[in-house]
Chains A and B, each alone.
Chain A
């Protein structure tokens, strides 16, 4: 059974860097895309970006200048870094597996439990 276990710091000061990791168990990073999504009361669900097992990334243009996704296949995990955080980055951050029948068309079928980040 595929599961995603999230970890990382939940309390940050403005201008600090958010860093979260998602560890995959019960499966492999290969063959899928891996995404980060955040949720806040004011904005709702916001897609941050996705990465594949080789490290190819696609980012939300609204965050592109501050966000970096990475993958570590040896540890079966992927990560997100968001620099220069402000109160507007306060949200629950989710990692998820993106799955699709055709390249470029991916929906999220497995989600982590979420990490609350407060700035």
Chain B
């Protein structure tokens, strides 16, 4: 299985401070990577697919980059509703696998 490793586990930010989340794959997955956002009690929500394409309705302050094994999710000037847990997921091979998540919290 492809192992997805996210860092950091927790990111503490002041409101308006930018956030950079990292995701590493144990082998190359091209750009077959998605990012999801999850708030407490809710299902994950698709943010980014194809490593860099925002899903429908996702604000431009969310951006993704990377290919191969290294990927980044950037949140520019996070709003209060952006404090949540973020997961990366590879869909290059079966079984699909997820990272352990990065919790973005208010400092």
Contact = CB atoms under 8 A, between A and B. Distances in A.
Q: Do A and B bind each other?
A: yes
Interface of A: 35, 44-47, 58, 60-62, 94, 96, 100-101, 105-109, 111-114
Interface stretch (B16-24, B65-73, B75-83, B96-104): B96-104
B50 to A, nearest CB: 8
Nearest to B93: A104
Contacts, number: 51
Contacts of A58: 94
B46 interface: yes
Chain B interface size band reads 20 to 34
B58 to A, nearest CB: 11
Contact of B92 (A47, A105, A111, A114): A105
A35 B43 CA distance: 14
B98 A108 contact: no
Given A108-B36, A109-B46, 12 more contacts: A45-B44, A45-B87, A96-B43, A105-B32, A105-B91, A107-B34, A107-B49, A107-B91, A108-B44, A108-B89, A111-B46, A113-B43
